[in-house]
A = this chain, B = another copy of it.
Amino acid sequence: MEVLFITSNEGKFREVEKIGRRYSVEVRWHREEYFEPQASSLHEIARISCEILSKKIGKPFIIEDSGLFIESLMGFPGPYSSYVFKTIGNEGIIRLMNGIENRKAYFLAIVAFFDGKDIHIFEGKTEGRISEAIRGNKGFGYDPVFLYGEKTFAEMGDEKNEVSHRRKAFEKFFRWLGKQG
């Protein structure tokens, strides 16, 4: 089986290609930038992006979007995680959380699949806490401030891939795909 993955991020494509192989799915890279809408949830953003792209692409494909959601900051940076990372970065997150007791946060990944007719959404979530300081250098993005147990994602290295939100979302999708006619 073959699936088109639309992303401009090669690293993301390589990661998903690997997961796909375990499910006997060949993930092919369709490199394309697309405009994501502004919306209050990742689900909505993925669904609308998928709808817009479906008119352009016309055949089955998947897209993926993910974000960090901090409970005491009303879900911030959430759907805008990428922009927030590029501007205030992990240092900004640490400042915003300074002295705040409730440090609960989660990473969320959404996979949207267009089957040529309908859109199907798959979700992967990993819960943790925001660390008191930036720690570790093995990950990327918010990994150095996301505590999973006693370590940050950036201190975990390959262990992280076993529990990551992206992996969970894609595994759900590949399992579902395997059950389809």
The interface of chain A, by Cβ under 8 A from chain B, is 35-40, 45, 48, 73-80, 83-84, 86-88, 92, 95-96, 98
Q: In the bound complex, what is the Cα–Cα distance between A45 and B37 (angstroms)?
A: 10
Alpha-carbon gap, A87 to B83, bound state (A): 15
Also in contact, A76 and B80, with CB within 8 A (given A35-B48, A38-B37)? no
Contact partners of A87 in chain B: CB under 8 A: 73-78
Nearest CB in chain B to that of A86: its residue? B74
> What residues on B are CB-neighbors of A98 within 8 Å?
95
Closest to A93 in B: B96
Given contacts A73-B87, A77-B87, A79-B83, 11 further A-B contacts (CB under 8 A): A35-B37, A35-B48, A36-B37, A36-B38, A38-B80, A40-B83, A73-B88, A76-B92, A78-B87, A80-B80, A80-B84
Chain B hits for A74, CB < 8 A: 86-88
B88 & A76 in contact (Cβ 8 Å cutoff): yes
Q: Nearest chain B CB to A142's CB is how many angstroms away?
A: 15
Complex partner residue of A38 from B75, B78, B83, B96, CB under 8 angstroms: B83
Q: Give the shortest distance, in Å, between A42 (CB) and chain B (any CB).
A: 12
Q: Can you name the residue of chain B whose Cβ is closest to the Cβ of A44? A: B35
Closest 10 CB pairs of A and B: A76-B87, A35-B37, A74-B87, A36-B38, A80-B80, A76-B88, A73-B88, A95-B96, A38-B38, A95-B95
